[in-house]
Amino acid sequence: MSRPALSTVASALYLAALYGFIFLPVAVLVLFSFQDGRFPIPPFEGPTLKWYAAVFADGKLVAALVNSLLVALISSAAACMLGFTAAYGLARHKLPAVELQRAIITAPLTVSYLIIGLGLLIAFNTLGMPRSLLTVGIGHAVINTPLCFAIIYSQLGAHQVNIERAARDLGANDWQVMTLVTAPMLAPAVLASYALSVTFSWDEFIIAFLLSRFDVTLPVEIWSLLRSGLNPKTNAVGSVVFLISIVVVLGLELAVFARTAKK
Amino acid sequence: MTARVEIRGVSHRFGRFAALTDINLAIEAGRFTVLLGPSGCGKTTLLSILGGFLHPSEGRVLIGEQDVTDLAPAARATTTMFQDYALFPHMSLGANVAFGLRMRGWPRAQRESRARELLALVSLEGAFAKRPHELSGGQRQRVALARALAVEPDVLLLDEPLGALDLKLRRQMQDELKTIQKRVGTTFVHVTHDQEEAMAIADEIVVMNQGRIEDIGAPQRVYLRPGSLFAAGFMGEANLIPGRIAAAAAGTITLSTAFGSLALPTSTLGALAPTEGRKIKLCIRPEHLKPNRDNSELIGLGPARVVDDAFFGTHYRCHLTSEAQPEAPFVAYLPQTASLTVGDTVALCFDPAAAVILADTDK
């Protein structure tokens, strides 16, 4: 009986090590945001909320946080729309070279953000578009559209074809089929892709850095904060970023899980 | 609301595969017609052409007096009930049933009260606010029927609607479909590969094979006097005795077979021309074989030995090997009272009035 016990202990240790490896850096970051001292290093003294007060008293950080939220929510909505219409078009209409088109739409997923960011920077320069939150938003829509497309396309199966046919048979036109039948049926996939897209945009740095100028997003603001050295305030703002990502993901889980559990 | 359907010279090809070849069919208004055939016989293709989901390669489709060949599904007086029911999963049953009326611009109160009437028609009165995932297969099927009937189609097209149900529920739904069809009077065109289902519900059966119509008629006629070898085999079990027409005289036709020459009444010929020397097959249903000659009307097939017998409740299903043609055993349904055991030898006979002579189209 000692062998199974030993293997159970080993599994538990392995699991603990795995979770530790993934979450220890985050835990340390969050812990030292409550540090009552000048440096986010051991030993831990505290706790205190003064660094959070400092974050929310910093006008530039709060403005950047609002900018980040706006860019994430709006660019993700655009990415979702584009991804959904592309997926619907490719799945439901006879188009030439469907596989090639699908590959081209999803290709940006494999290209580094640095390359995409540089390409967009050159394109906006050529077009004479000044760098702004708009260009950052466009950049984020570019990287998130393939993601939304891939998620929604994977859920557009043959089993909905007859449902759409039935709607058409009962008198619905193309627009009504899409808005009253297809989109609501795909709501879980659309919601999931939207939430993922929001979290990706929320903490994206390279593209936001390359394409913004006066108004910046939170990761860019944190980067300029880091240049003046580490202090618990950077930990506090990092914790806020982490907390908001967690809220979005949990919200998604609840929304999608509640829907699928009903079925 | 009901209308007559006419299919004139319809052919359809998928690439080089001919799914339908020169189909001509008239379905009278208010009838329950079943398209029956094995998978790949073209019955679902024909239904899709009626519904407007496919445009035929050739030919015309008329509903009422109107040529609808070029009309979209929504513009036709047809609705289709799909095999997988195709209910809208995110809508209540009421909204599902009322969907077609909503598309026709009915105000909410009117379409909801109509939806309630239709749910009552299919015995789902209290389920207006339920969602499709809360229902059993048979209930979903009823909702699909109510939804299709809500827009008062002239013709309802049913694509293997009972295919996903278990046997008992299927038999029960057959009865309900038939009752509802009689009540609303709509022309029903129903596709199935189950010949028992076809016989249970149809006013008229259209037997199809390899893109062609093999036989059209009332269930009794198609079963008892099938128009082709294929129809005979598909409608149920059949014993086929190969032979030739030896002579045709007034009232009597003589066949030469492995069982000697058999003299039959000309009524067994059906539509077949009694050309002497023509290759034929004599078709005898298992229930028309008798183990002994207890009346002079019967024709003998010589001695046959019982190889096996299985009790089916209503009858025994036996295999018998005849001395004259041992390579093709007979199948016979013998009454519960038949006291036969394996190895017995009987004098096998058949009722000539119930036999059918069919053209031998086998290669």
> Do the chains contact at A165 and B133, CB–CB below 8 Å?
no
Write out residues 168-187 of A within 8 Å (CB-CB) of B.
168-172, 176, 181, 184-185, 187
Minimal Cα distance from B90: which residue of A?
A185
> Least CB-CB distance to A162: which of B78, B82, B151?
B82
Contacts of A184 in chain B (CB under 8 A): 90
> Can you tell me the mean pLDDT for B340-353?
85
**Percent of chain B topping pLDDT 70:** 99
Number of inter-chain CB pairs under 8 A, A vs B: 58
Res B103 pLDDT > 70? yes
> Do the chains contact at B87 and A165, CB–CB below 8 Å?
no
Res A237 pLDDT > 90? no
> Do the chains contact at A187 and B90, CB–CB below 8 Å?
yes
- Give the CATH number, domain containing residue B63: 3.40.50.300
The SS3 call for residue B211 is coil
**Percent of chain B topping pLDDT 90:** 28
Same domain membership, residue B298 and residue B215: no
> Least CB-CB distance to A181: which of B53, B88, B104?
B88
Instruction: Look up residue A51 and give its two tokens.
Output: 């660094």
Among residues B233, B252, B281, the one where a domain terminates is B233
> Do the chains contact at A159 and B104, CB–CB below 8 Å?
no
CA distance B202 to chain A (A): 25
Same domain membership, residue B242 and residue B349: yes
Q: Which DSSP symbol is given to B271? A: T
Same domain membership, residue B260 and residue B350: yes
Contact in structure between B2 and B185 (CB atoms under 8 Å): yes
Same domain membership, residue B342 and residue B291: yes
Q: Which of A60-69, A220-229, B32-41, B244-253 has the highest mean pLDDT?
A: B32-41
- Give the CATH number, domain containing residue B303: 2.40.50.140
Instruction: Write down the ipTM of this complex.
Output: 0.77
State how far the Cα of B101 lies from the Cα of B148, in Å rounded to an integer: 11
> Least CB-CB distance to B74: which of A169, A187, A262?
A169
Give the Å distances, CA to CA, from A256 to A72, A155, A201, A253, B70.
Answer: 20, 14, 20, 5, 42
CA distance A224 to chain B (A): 48
pLDDT of residue A97: 82
Q: What is the dihedral of CA B119, A164, B188, B45, to 10 degrees?
A: -160
Among residues B212, B233, B254, the one where a domain terminates is B233
Q: Which of A161, A163, A169, A175 to substitute to test the interface with B, most B CBs within 10 Å?
A: A169
> Can you tell me the mean pLDDT for A241-249?
84
pLDDT of residue A4: 65
B274 pLDDT tier (thresholds 50, 70, 90): confident
Q: What is the dihedral of CA A164, B12, B145, B2, to 10 degrees?
A: 120
Q: Which DSSP symbol is given to B127? A: G
Same domain membership, residue B341 and residue B273: yes
| Number of Cβ within a 10 Å radius of residue A213 | 11
Contacts of A170 in chain B (CB under 8 A): 74, 79, 99-100, 103, 147, 151
> Can you tell me the mean pLDDT for A234-260?
80
Minimal Cα distance from B147: which residue of A?
A170
Question: What digits encode the pLDDT tens for the residues B255-265?
Answer: 888 888 888 88
How many domains is chain B built from?
2
Same domain membership, residue B182 and residue B92: yes
Average pLDDT, chain A: 84
Question: What digits encode the pLDDT tens for the residues A57-95?
Answer: 777 888 888 888 899 899 999 999 999 999 988 888 888
Same domain membership, residue B254 and residue B213: no
State how far the Cα of B166 lies from the Cα of B158, in Å rounded to an integer: 18
Contacts of B79 in chain A (CB under 8 A): 169-170
Contacts of B82 in chain A (CB under 8 A): 162, 165-166
Q: Which DSSP symbol is given to B151? A: T
Instruction: Tell me the residue range of the domain where B294 lies.
Output: 237-359
Same domain membership, residue B320 and residue B190: no
> Least CB-CB distance to A169: which of B80, B89, B133?
B80
Question: What digits encode the pLDDT tens for the residues A159-184?
Answer: 788 899 899 989 888 889 988 998 88
Same domain membership, residue B88 and residue B137: yes
B326 pLDDT tier (thresholds 50, 70, 90): confident
pLDDT of residue A2: 54
Res B242 pLDDT > 70? yes
Res A257 pLDDT > 80? no
Instruction: Look up residue A75 and give its two tokens.
Output: 């660019």
Minimal Cα distance from B81: which residue of A?
A166
CA distance B131 to chain A (A): 9
State how far the Cα of A113 lies from the Cα of A206, in Å rounded to an integer: 7
pLDDT of residue B354: 87
Q: What is the dihedral of CA B150, B104, B131, B73, to 10 degrees?
A: 70
Full-model pTM:
0.76
Same domain membership, residue B209 and residue B184: yes
Rounded to 10 deg, the angle between the A113-127 and A133-155 helix axes is 130
pLDDT of residue A145: 92
Question: What digits encode the pLDDT tens for the residues B135-179?
Answer: 888 888 889 999 999 988 999 999 888 877 888 888 888 888 899
> Can you tell me the mean pLDDT for B18-22?
89
Res A263 pLDDT > 70? no
CA-based angle B129:B132:B136, to the nearest 5? 115
Res B219 pLDDT > 90? yes
> Considering only CA atoms, which of B23, B8, B5 is closest in space to residue B76?
B5
Res A3 pLDDT > 70? no
Alpha helices, DSSP H only, in chain A? 2-32, 50-57, 59-92, 98-106, 113-127, 133-155, 161-169, 174-176, 183-185, 187-202, 206-211, 218-226, 232-262
State how far the Cα of B193 lies from the Cα of B235, in Å rounded to an integer: 10
> Can you tell me the mean pLDDT for A185-197?
87
> Which residues lie closer than 8 Å to B131 by C-beta, 6 or more apart?
A262, B89, B90, B91, B92, B93
Same domain membership, residue B269 and residue B210: no
A33 pLDDT tier (thresholds 50, 70, 90): confident
Contacts of B78 in chain A (CB under 8 A): 169
| Number of Cβ within a 10 Å radius of residue B15 | 6
Average pLDDT, chain B: 88
Among residues B210, B233, B256, the one where a domain terminates is B233
CA distance B79 to chain A (A): 6
pLDDT of residue B166: 82
> Which residues lie closer than 8 Å to B3 by C-beta, 6 or more apart?
B29, B63, B64, B77, B154, B155, B187
Q: Are strands B155-159 and B187-192 parallel, antiparallel or unpaired?
A: parallel
- Give chain A's domains with CATH numbers: 58-228 (1.10.3720.10)
Same domain membership, residue B167 and residue B303: no
pLDDT of residue A260: 60
> Can you tell me the mean pLDDT for A124-137?
85
Across the strands, what pairs with B63? B5, B66
DSSP string, B40-94: TSSHHHHHHHHHTSS--SEEEEEETTEE-TTS-GGGSSEEEE-TT----TTS-HH
Across the strands, what pairs with B187? B155
